[in-house]
Structure 1
Amino acid sequence: MIEPALALPGLLVLVIAVSLGVVLRRDLTRFEVDYGALGVAAGAMLALILWRAGPLGALEALAIATLPGLVAEALRRYRPGRMGAGDPWLFAALGLAAGPDYMLVTLIAACLFGSVVALVWSRLRGRRLFGSMVPAALALVPAMALAITLRLVDGAGGLPAGMHALAVPLDPGDAFGLLFAAGAFLFGLWLGPRRPARPGARRGGFHPTPKGEKP
């Protein structure tokens, strides 16, 4: 019989895996982010963090999630055509999965995954490197999986002690301050100029597909 202490995290990991699989498939086939599936994955991640690190760990993870999410949103608004409407939420989910303890390692992994994906994707489409829109989920979902794996391995005491030296120091006061600053920044973005909507664009994290290119 499976102990309840093991059944809960196992169930949460299963929910995360299935939900992120849906997100990945949608982004690959339609260049869209499935907000519903991503929301389910994020909720399960938060529940897993609460189980593993308690309310303080969840607060820190939420605070860290604002950093990549808001940076991506700012880039999306002020560098039109570089990323889709749903990509900032993918970056925020990446920050949530990583939290302060695994953020640096996860970001490095995401950059490596992204470079490989961009190279392979561009080659397959016969375009120059970074000359083709790339589904962000193809790089970010594996990075999220790495972050969740690191959490589970660390919870079992399997991570080398040196890994903890890469953690981003964050106390509750810093976390609250970061959340407050993120809210103010988001409000500023909301008040700022918006780029015109792409003709025919749909809701649901739509990517503006380049001319002559199929999703």
Structure 2
Amino acid sequence: MTEGLWVTLEGGDGSGKTTQARLLEQWLGDQGRTVLRTREPGGSEVGILIRDIVLHHRGEVAPRAEALLYAADRAHHVATVVRPALARGEVVIQDRYLDSSVAYQGAGRVLEAEEVRGLSLWATEGALPQLTVLLDLDPAAARLRLDAADKPFDRLEAEKEEFHSRVREAFLALAAAEPERFLVIDATLAPEQIAETIRVRVAELL
């Protein structure tokens, strides 16, 4: 599919995805690689509008509508941002992809996981990253981190612990089903230790 390398970071809210994306971008830049950092939702102009709806809309969004909005963002994002960057030979580092939809809308919202996954695969013409880093963290520990950040919660961060427990179990099940694509890391480890583990796997792929 690509000439570049596509790495996605997954995990519950507060697991450290943003920190690891930044550290990986810095390391790749030092290696002389051109890097595109992006995220879902919100990695394009269309995505910014969708992000505001799914994460900050004050009213209720029906679970199936939420899943469709994420898929719409994903379709546009992959077509207009990810694929062109990969075709240019760049390394794409992306915060969340379809595995988040399977975990959050499938397990969290109790929709059919395979239907949610199928929707995203249809939207993106089957696009999958070469590497997905799953930062695994207990929801209680994640909540402590989010509380310490002292910022307003979005709609998903504000969900109850049972919701986030279902999400975590879904992520781990996805990783177990595709061990060749996933790298699962204990998110309680020191950030630099996590970063080094990610760098070793990325270096193998490069």
TM-score range normalised by the length of the shorter chain: 0.3 to 0.5
With a CA cutoff of 8 Å and minimum separation of 6, indicate the structure with the bigger relative contact order.
2
* Greater fraction helix: 1
Q: TM-score, normalised by structure 1?
A: 0.31
Higher radius of gyration, 1 or 2:
1
* Greater fraction strand: 2
